[in-house]
Structure 1
Amino acid sequence: MTLGTVHGVGLGPGAQDLLSVRADRLVREARHVAFFRKAGRPGQARRIVEGMLRHDAVEHAMEYPVTTEIPLDDPRYNACLSRFYAGATENLARLARSGEDVVVLCEGDPFFYGSFMHLYTRLAGTVPVGVVPGITGMSGAWTACGAPMTWGDDVLTVLTATLPEEDLARRIRDTDALVVMKIGRHLAKLRRAVAAAGREGEAWLVEHAAMAEQKVTRLGEAQAVTPYFSILLIHGQGRRP
């Protein structure tokens, strides 16, 4: 029997009209659609494609067993997620081995801080796997700001706010342009790190980039609690003609 293919499809930052033509086609034609979500939530990836799926599509929700309930440095965190990804991989591989194609919905780009990467590394070499790139959330965020992100020889650094405060401050200080992702409950720590780097006047916070509820504010004006997928930006000011 011919094997099916597991497609990791990048959905972009959150608007249906920012999907690529290939992503749009695969999503609309898919008989099997898989997506990650937190238990009890519809899932952001699934929300993006609302109204696009065929009427007989079979949906496979992959619900995280843990998100923020266990600290990242606790060995139980990795062990729990490892079991989860192994189980999700086996379910997808089983469908592919039966000849079925599966589309895995991926926010942003599948290979950029995405959960699909954990499936890809487990599936590769066992069943056919395809990847459709998507516009990243950070690209949607700096477009929302209405200002170029990098000029000339600017160095762009991408960080996650989950890093230790000292590491954040050092890297923020040493770069020209900056993107910080996965902010969520780390906003207070990030504020301190930006201030320690002396760059608080340059920092912007973008929430829900490219979505109807998009919001762009100066970091100093942001509320104490922000969505987990908010993105902080510092624009480069480098060489230009």
Structure 2
Amino acid sequence: MSVPPATLYGLGVGPGDPELLTLKAHRILTSAPVVAYPKPDTGESFARSIVAGYLRKEQEEIAIEVPMRVERFPAAEVYEAAAKRIAADLKAGRDVAVLCEGDPFFYGSFMYLFERLASKFPTEIVPGVSSVMAAGAASARPIAARNDVFTVIPAPLEDREIATRIALSEAFAIIKLGRHFMRVKTLIETLRLTGSCRYCERVSLAEERVMPLAEASDTAPYFSMILGYRGAEKAIRGR
């Protein structure tokens, strides 16, 4: 007698605070027999650390080791291997919950498993609180209003591209700062927008730092972003 295939879940676990996990994500997380998550080749998994207090000892864990390097690595091989291992559990009738920092489909690595498995197995995506939304809340300043265009800009883009994206928007978030921080900070100064920007670091964690961009130091971790506003809303510009 064949076993019906189980369900693959992409669980958004939020920006870091375990209390920002949704009720639905918590229900699925605590009931799934298998939990998978990305893990750097050195150090612990951030996604797992967020929900560590909710995991059960009898749950099987699959750590998907993703090298954290500046140079490109064979990511396809990593996700191919992970997909095969997860597929084996799904075929055996065991649901698999894949943990995703923030939201699964917002710059999330889960999309690479999704493209390999979603056409073969029942799949459900559980959205999570993204770091951008959490940063807006932590900075106590609205992100955008009315007809404002809000743009998310990856810091690795070239200066000209970043400046163009900012010019086309009333509100913006620059993410993935890390080693690009000083270059981006200098660019914003050149655009005379420093006074309209907030610097947000490790939002929702105990180490959270939120301040005007002008007060930020010259270095920033990967988990940081700049929120900026150049629109007409006084409720936003005035804060």
Residue of structure 1 in register with 2:97 after alignment:
103
SS of the residue 1:49 aligns to: helix
Shift of 1:89: 1.2
Q: Provide the C-alpha distance between the structure 2 equivalents of 1:49 and 1:222, rounded to a whole number of angstroms.
A: 30
Structure 1, residues 44-90: CA drift from partner, whole Å, max 9, x if none?
A: 1011002111121111111113x3331xxxxxx26x01111111111
Residue of structure 2 in register with 1:200 after alignment:
194
Residue of structure 2 in register with 1:73 after alignment:
none
Residue of structure 2 in register with 1:74 after alignment:
none
Runs (5+) with no aligned partner, structure 1: 71-76
Q: Decide whether the 8 Å contact of 2:155 with 2:184 is kept in 1.
A: yes
Residue of structure 2 in register with 1:150 after alignment:
144
Q: Decide whether the 8 Å contact of 2:173 with 2:227 is kept in 1.
A: yes
Q: Provide the C-alpha distance between the structure 2 equivalents of 1:173 and 1:119, rounded to a whole number of angstroms.
A: 35
Equivalent of residue 49 in structure 2, options 1, 24, 47: 47
Aligned residue runs from structure 1 range 113-192, under 5 A? 113-192=107-186
Aligned residue runs from structure 1 range 8-87, under 5 A? 8-65=10-67, 67-70=68-71, 77=72, 80-87=74-81
Q: Decide whether the 8 Å contact of 2:196 with 2:230 is kept in 1.
A: no
TM-score normalized by structure 1? 0.91
Shift of 1:221: 2.0
TM-score normalized by structure 2? 0.92
Q: Decide whether the 8 Å contact of 2:131 with 2:203 is kept in 1.
A: yes
AA partner of residue 65 (structure 2) = E
Q: CA RMSD in A?
A: 1.6
Q: Decide whether the 8 Å contact of 2:177 with 2:223 is kept in 1.
A: yes
CA distance 1:193–1:174, shift in 2 (3 Å): farther
Q: Provide the C-alpha distance between the structure 1 equivalents of 2:128 and 2:232, rounded to a whole number of angstroms.
A: 27
